[in-house]
């Protein structure tokens, strides 16, 4: 069972580290609290950037994942086989390696006709993060479709529904409900994974934190600022996982 205790513990660690830093503060230097306040707007900007990346990656990943998932339940064996390989590949490759793959192998700008379209790092990172989401959404869709009793397919066919109609009007509407909790779970995982973009040079919250600690060069700032960033993510992700738990419990098939 999830509780708010982790948040309280994190908050306590954060406050305690600030208090310790304050007590040990050298006179004449700005205090840790002042530094945190000073850098909060920048960190907030970085965090919003993380959220932006997570929204777009989720959007792209979900759209592509629904297409891939539809291929996974196709009645045609070659389509099913190919999509199985794609899903396995993107589910089993580490996120960081996929991210490197997309970052290094896609061009930084496109030439269409005479115009140059720039292709910035963060869009590439978004695409890189969307790939594993795509494969996992495909698996969620397949699992949800398989969890619908076969009798419904038979019943729909006896009422002269075509396969497409059955899927769109009977099966998928029921799947949405079952897909929601795992989908939200993946969104939380994705949001946490957006920090990976810092490794490939996108200026999101983690990159900014590293830059701030380098710029300030204060060892007493390290624990407060890292627990501060942890706290931000926790505050964002924890309600999502709580809601997921509730929805799971409500939609549980008995």
Contact status: 93 vs another protein (CB under 8 A): yes
Nearest to 57 by CA among 157, 131, 150, 117: 131
Contact 53, 205 (CB under 8 A): no
Contact status: 15 vs another protein (CB under 8 A): no
| 43's tokens | 């960190």
Contact status: 47 vs another protein (CB under 8 A): no
- Distance CA(170)–CA(163), nearest Å, equals 10
Contact status: 176 vs another protein (CB under 8 A): no
Contact status: 10 vs another protein (CB under 8 A): yes
Phi, psi of 79 (to 5 degrees): -60, -45
Nearest distance in Å: CB 181, another protein: 15
With CB under 8 A as the contact rule, the residue among 100, 180, 211, 243 that binds another protein is: 100
Contact region with another protein (CB under 8 A), list: 22-30, 37-45, 66-74, 220-228? 220-228
Nearest distance in Å: CB 205, another protein: 9
- Distance CA(170)–CA(177), nearest Å, equals 13
Q: Interior CA angle at 37 toward 36 and 38, to 5°?
A: 90
Give the number of other CB atoms < 10 A from CB of residue 140. 23
Nearest distance in Å: CB 227, another protein: 7
Contact 50, 61 (CB under 8 A): no
Query: According to CB under 8 A, which residues from 200 to 219 bind another protein?
Result: 206, 209-210, 213, 219
Binding site for another protein (CB under 8 A): 1-3, 5-10, 88-89, 92-98, 100-101, 104-105, 188, 191-196, 198-199, 206, 209-210, 213, 219, 222-223, 225-227, 229-230, 233-234, 237-238, 241
């Amino acid at each position: 069972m999830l509780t708010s205790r982790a948040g309280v513990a994190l908050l306590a660690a954060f406050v305690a580290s600030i208090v310790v830093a304050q007590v040990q503060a050298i006179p004449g230097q700005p205090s840790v609290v002042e530094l945190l306040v000073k850098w909060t707007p920048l960190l907030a900007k970085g965090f919003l950037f993380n959220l932006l990346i997570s929204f777009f990656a989720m959007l792209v990943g979900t759209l592509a994942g629904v297409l891939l998932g539809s291929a996974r339940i196709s009645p045609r064996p070659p389509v099913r086989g190919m999509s199985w390989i794609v899903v396995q590949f993107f589910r089993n490759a580490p996120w960081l390696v996929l991210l490197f793959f997309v970052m290094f192998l896609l061009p930084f700008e496109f030439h269409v006709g005479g115009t140059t379209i720039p292709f910035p790092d963060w869009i590439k990172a978004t695409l890189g993060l969307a790939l594993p989401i795509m494969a996992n959404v495909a698996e969620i869709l397949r699992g949800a479709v398989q969890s619908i009793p076969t009798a419904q397919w038979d019943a729909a066919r006896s009422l002269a529904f075509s396969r497409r109609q059955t899927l769109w009007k009977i099966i998928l509407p029921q799947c949405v409900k079952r897909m929601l909790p795992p989908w939200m779970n993946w969104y939380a995982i994705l949001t946490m994974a957006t920090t990976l973009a810092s490794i490939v040079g996108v200026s999101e919250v983690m990159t900014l934190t590293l830059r701030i600690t380098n710029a300030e060069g204060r060892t007493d700032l390290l624990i407060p600022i890292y627990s501060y960033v942890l706290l931000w993510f926790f505050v964002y992700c924890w309600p999502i996982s709580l809601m997921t738990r509730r929805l799971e419990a409500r939609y549980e098939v008995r």
